[in-house]
A and B are shown apart, each in its own frame.
Chain A
Amino acid sequence: MSFAQSSLMPSFSRPPSRVAIVRSHSYGRDLGTLLFQALQEFVLPVRGLKVLLKPNLVEPDPLGVINTHPAVVGAVRESFLRLGAKSVRVAEGPAHERDTEAILETIRLRDFLGPLSDLFVDLNLDEVHTVKLRTRASKLKRLYLPRTVLEADFIVSLPKLKTHHWAGVTLSLKNMFGIVPGCCYGWPKNVLHWAGITPSILDINSTVRPDFAIVDGIIGMEGNGPIQGSAKPAGVLILGDDPVAVDATCARVMGLAPERIEHLAKAGALLGHLQPEKIRQLGESVASVRTPFAVLPAFQKLIDAKDK
């Protein structure tokens, strides 16, 4: 793993981040073209690299609301191959379901990627190595990380645009819970929950910061997410070279104030940019695609004043 962009850096010395908002109202055939064109804008240095895509695959869900849609995974993989990546593998360690194959088969991932036996890695069962944490937000001190993650040159967090009943939202930073293996951390990653969701999010992302993030917001989830919420069509893909800036932009699109979401507010200090003036916006504006998401009563405080 390069860790090229994983170094912690105070926000004032970090260069501006870039985030693109792309409109897309369906998971149809034009998705590949849209994503490829959007990715070209970033001129990513991925030629010859081993790229790892980390979608959010949680439970068998044929309705396509809980998990990153397989059409998005397929289109992103195709785009990175066209950009010259040496290989593009897909990996996930689902938090709730031990039978990863059941999720893959339910969402028909192979219809979009082809045979999965050499392409997909179940991170819950991969060989693990210990890595010292770069921060001490939690008491974990070290992480057990799968070999597939450590060997990747370029990691792309590929979550779904969802609310979360413990964390407020689950986007590209929270999605990284899925890189640590269930065989060490349990299901649903109990060790991380006991260590605290916010501190664990910060420690994981400071140690394995995704190089890029692409959020599937074509159909998101509002209310009692990340599993039992309601489908919320937002018609957007949100992508960028800073996971904090991507998540902050997603929150604004959802009508939420990112600085009130605990893990985002803290991540904004060292892991990326939260403030709009530090985010170079490409594609659509936040205002033009703003789609307020319903939140549970416990998270009413997250709603941006403009939507109250």
Chain B
Amino acid sequence: MLPPLAAKRRRLAERMLYDRMCPGGGWNSGNPLVYGVAGVPRIGPTAWALLALRDHSDRAEIQMSLQWLAGAYGAIHGAASLALAYRCLAAYGRRVPPLALGELYAHNHFFESVLTIAWIILALNEEGSAAVQTVGEARTQ
């Protein structure tokens, strides 16, 4: 049972996320504008913010941010970002290409990062579910 003020605090947190959104959609470390110049979104913060705001999927800000993330997906070079973006887009029922992690693992072993490996497992769980249709053949390890 959450304390009575939890819902109020949650709404405050959601408002903060919208306040910090980059003008073109997506999120970065927290500065949407610096000296009037729009900040560039990053994969990780965008994926987490979208996951947190999944109940708001009809809002224009969410759709704009999803569009940015889907557009950026093909150019992701890091395993952690790839797994997070995959997990996020899949959570919104978006069609996404399969996780292509084989080459990254071969080069760097993901630097044995616990976080990266955990996020990849989360994404692989999603990939294995029937909720999302994927295109092409998975080259996962």
Does A101 have its Cβ within 8 Å of any Cβ on chain B?
yes
- B111→A99 contact, CB < 8 A: no
Does A60 have its Cβ within 8 Å of any Cβ on chain B?
yes
Does A115 have its Cβ within 8 Å of any Cβ on chain B?
yes
- A102→B113 contact, CB < 8 A: no
- B35→A165 contact, CB < 8 A: yes
Tell me which residues from 24 to 46 in chain B have a Cβ below 8 Å from any Cβ of chain A. Answer: 28-30, 34-35, 37, 40, 42-44
Asked if A125 meets B109 with Cβ closer than 8 Å, knowing A101-B79, A188-B29, the reply is no
On chain A, the residues within 8 Å of B104 by CB distance are 101, 105
- Which segment of A74-82, A116-124, A281-289 sits at the interface? A116-124
Complex-state Cα separation, A122 to B80, whole angstroms = 13
Question: What is the 8 Å Cβ interface bit string for chain B, positions 76-97, against chain A (1 contact, 0 not)?
Answer: 1111110000000000000000
Q: How large is the interface on A (under 10, 10 to 19, 20 to 34, 35 or more residues)?
A: 20 to 34
On chain B, the residues within 8 Å of A101 by CB distance are 77-80, 104, 108, 110-111, 113, 116
Complex-state Cα separation, A228 to B42, whole angstroms = 14
Report the minimum CB–CB distance from B26 to chain A (whole Å).
14
On chain A, the residues within 8 Å of B77 by CB distance are 60, 101-102, 105-106
* B side interface size, CB within 8 A: 26
B112 — nearest CB in chain A belongs to which residue?
A: A117
Does B107 have its Cβ within 8 Å of any Cβ on chain A?
yes
Does B12 have its Cβ within 8 Å of any Cβ on chain A?
no
- B37→A96 contact, CB < 8 A: no
- A120→B111 contact, CB < 8 A: yes
Does A224 have its Cβ within 8 Å of any Cβ on chain B?
yes
- A117→B108 contact, CB < 8 A: yes
On chain A, the residues within 8 Å of B115 by CB distance are 125
Report the minimum CB–CB distance from A42 to chain B (whole Å).
32
A103 — nearest CB in chain B belongs to which residue?
A: B78
Asked if A97 meets B42 with Cβ closer than 8 Å, knowing A102-B80, A187-B29, the reply is yes
